[in-house]
Amino acid sequence: MSTKTTNEFGGEFGGITLLGKAHSLSALFIVLLRAAIGGMILFAGIGKVTGEPFDASGYLVHAPDAASPVSGLYAAMGSTPWFVEFANVFVPLTQVLIGLALIAGAFVRLAALGGAMQMMLFYLGGWEGDILALFDSTLIYAIVFLTVAAFGAGRILGLDAYIEKLEVGGEALVERFPALRYVLG
């Protein structure tokens, strides 16, 4: 005999209590969302590695053309050769790693946070300053990454469910190292 549990979730934010109840298909859709956003960033990274040589300097140097509050900082980074070389390796590499992690469902919270941070940096660098620019696709991607992290999407058809249960010294990994709950899930 099986017992049916309700999939309720919620929290309190600024004195307002938010409560919700997930649909039975919610787990499927969060896995699809994790795979889709993972595939999107994986192929963005692969394109930077296998296509035309990736050069972050153009983006960074032209950021002052945007109305972003960080445009001056981006211009300074774009005129610093060692930083541009670092970004030329770091951006594609992290995109590939984030994509692989999300698709596999391993270290999902860490990967999703990295994806959200990258999208926010792209968002701020390209912000045009008008009201419509507030809803740029990179901002939406950042929110999707954070949603995947918040729902612990790596525990649903992902490796995080197995990683959390690995035994270390006779204890489950997350029991022995509770901080890992913040990167797994």
Q: What is the pLDDT of residue 92?
A: 95
| Of 105, 102, 88, residue with least CA distance to 141 | 102
Q: What is the pLDDT of residue 47?
A: 94
In this structure, the strands spanning 8-13 and 16-21 are antiparallel
Tokens of 147: 């949603």
With a cut of 70, list the residues of the chain below it in pLDDT: 1-6, 62-67, 129-133
Q: What is the pLDDT of residue 6?
A: 61
For 21-72, the pLDDT digits (tens) are 777 778 889 999 999 999 999 999 999 999 888 888 877 876 556 667 777 8
Report how far residue 175's alpha carbon sits from residue 168's, in angstroms, rounded to the nearest whole number. Answer: 9
Report how far residue 46's alpha carbon sits from residue 10's, in angstroms, rounded to the nearest whole number. Answer: 37
3 state DSSP class of 182 = helix
Q: What is the pLDDT of residue 131?
A: 66
Q: What is the pLDDT of residue 1?
A: 43
List the beta bridge partners of residue 177. none
99-138 residues labelled b (16+ CB within 10 A) or e (exposed) = bbbbbbbbbbbbbbbbbbebbbbbbbbbbeeeeeeeebeb
Q: What is the pLDDT of residue 100?
A: 98
Report how far residue 120's alpha carbon sits from residue 30's, in angstroms, rounded to the nearest whole number. Answer: 21
Q: Which residue has the tokens 């740029």?
A: 136
